[in-house]
Amino acid sequence: MKAGYQSYKMFGFNRKFKITERRPPPDVISVFSLCTNGESQMSPDHFRRFLIEFQGEEGVTVDHAKLIMEQVLHHLRPNITLSSFTLDDFFQYLFLDHLNGPITSEVHHDMTAPLQHYFIYTGHNSYLTGNQLNSDCSEVPIIKALHKGVRVIELDLWPNSSKDGIDVLHGWTMTTPVALEKCLKSIKEYAFVNSPYPVIITLEDHLTPNLQAKVAEMVTEIFGDMLYCPKAGDIDEFPSPEALKYHVLLSTKPPKEQLERINGNQDDNMSNLNHDLSQFLHIDFEDETEDVGNEIPGQKTTPEYIQLIGIHAAKANKELRKALTVGPGKGKRLSLSEQTLEKAATVYGTDLVRFTQKNILRVFPKGTRVTSTNFKPLLAWMHGAQMVASNMQGYGRSLWMMHGMFRSNGGCGYVKKPDFLMSRGPNNEVFDPKLILNVKKTLKVRVYMGDGWDMDFRPTHFDKYSPPDFYTKLYMVGVPADITKKKTRVIRDDWMPIWDEEFTFPLRVPELALLKIVVREHDVSEKDDFGGQTCLPVSELRTGIRVVPLHNKKGEKFESVKLLMQFVFE
């Protein structure tokens, strides 16, 4: 328990403010007393009772409870052997996020379903260090993204200045290039530092056939057995994340020259060509209409390039409804801009959901986001879009939501979509995001207190002449009917605010809901200061009294700043 005084110089005079002693809120004291039957020491059996009855952790044994207690006590008093908690020990335990965090840190979703059954952590222009116009291209942002658990890396491929090599850069801008080989080698080295599940490289290909052949040689040499190559006899389904562990997949549009070479007759009717090739490759080319500048008369690419494409891609040009038609054969990846998604959601909402039950939908930021901002991902997720591409080098509320979603499932980068997005009714109907459903469950959130700002911030960071005035805002984001926000009162002049306030959130689609938590410091004359944030997937919340670590604006976890909260579902 810490206490003391802090001095602030104000108008030439020193003012002293008492630092609040960190003490358990009444609920913690009450829980401790109930579990110990009023005794002053909490035994392993008492602690087990707490974990089961108040934290909802079923199946906990006394031995497991004792093991946790020993870890905590060794952390608090390394040189003393004890086997019971005092109230203060118990309170200290509650603030250890690696033992008492708000969500589980383990992979626990079924990972054996096909790829389209998952939301996948997806980057946009993954090589950019900053804005979309003139920042440097580098392998460093790719490495950072992989460390964070991102599973989809986007590379834009262009001929280098001498036309004999391949650069990665944002085309038609002043961004400085980075060599493709450097990017690929970095992906190989760091692909699985955070997660064993597959990395998908989406290629925006602006290459000549000869350079495509170089790409084939390069990826084959660099990745070797790590590279997933589909075979003609593959089943009519994407593989699962489990089956693709420690593999890398390429996803791009198959070049037309390669298709024509495989068919062996460039003069045939194109519809017959596509039919023959669909049979040969077990894929559907009905919507492969995007022109990415890779047609050079008289030249043909070698077969290897197309054989290395694990997920075939397409773009919806003018015929959006046609592009969303679910055709025969293997699934494909369709890319839509955020504006096109908004249009499709308004006009073809259930078609989007039906499309994503077999195919993969990627949604990318509009071109006017030159400062690398991001769009809100919820509209895409509620329509089943697996790849919501975000500028990971940016920051802001939309990226906080992305971080929140992919804290799910142990942070492995793959989150199993809710069953209702993958199922069909008796009349072949699918989930309609426009329908307002009944409340499915209610989440009660109690914000007890906060701590750690005096450790992570300078004494005068928030106010020059007094301790900070903190408040907490709670935002529920999800389907439109679930969106709401709440706010605690402001606690004046205290580095360790105690709110002890409860809020209720009725939820219609809790499977897609995110609880965004933002702490701010009230300022009368200026904009309120930022004091920390986090975003948590509601479906993953562990019930009971939990500690919630906060992060800075870029999503980096603070060392000490935390909230003590309680989550209860009804």
Report residue 180: phi and psi, to 5°: -55, -40
183 with 168: CB under 8 angstroms? yes
* Catalytic annotation, pick one of 124, 247, 383, 403: 124
Paired sense of beta strands 514-521 and 529-537, if any:
antiparallel
Beta-sheet pairing, 248-252 with 199-205: parallel
Catalytic residue among 46, 170, 247, 383: 170
CB 462 within 8 A of CB 450: no
Residue 250 neighbours by CB distance under 10 Å: 24
Distance separating alpha carbons of residues 440 and 458, to the nearest angstrom: 44
* H-run or E-run covering 535: strand 529-537
Name the DSSP letter for residue 328: S
Q: How far is CA 265 from CA 82, 258, 270, 276, 305, in A?
A: 81, 11, 10, 11, 19
Helix (H), strand (E) at residue 19 = strand 13-19
User: How many Å apart are CA 192 and CA 480, to the nearest integer?
Assistant: 36
Is there a catalytic annotation at residue 403?
no
Handedness of CA 72, 76, 80, 85 (dihedral sign): negative
Give bridge partners of residue 157 from the DSSP assignment. Answer: 168, 205
Q: Would you give the DSSP letter of residue 41? A: S
CA neighbor of 226 nearest in space, from 286, 184, 262, 266: 184
| Cα–Cα dist 132/369, whole Å | 8
Beta pairing class for 178-179 and 333-337: unpaired
- Asked if 139 contacts 151 with a C-beta cutoff of 8 angstroms, the reply is no
- Active-site residue, 109 included: no
Neighbours of 401 (CB within 10 A): 24
Alpha-carbon Rg for the chain, nearest whole angstrom, is: 27
3-class DSSP state of 269: coil
Q: Are 153 and 202 in contact (CB under 8 A)?
A: yes
Token pair belonging to 429: 């109907």
What is the length of the chain?
570
The residues assigned a catalytic role are: 124, 170
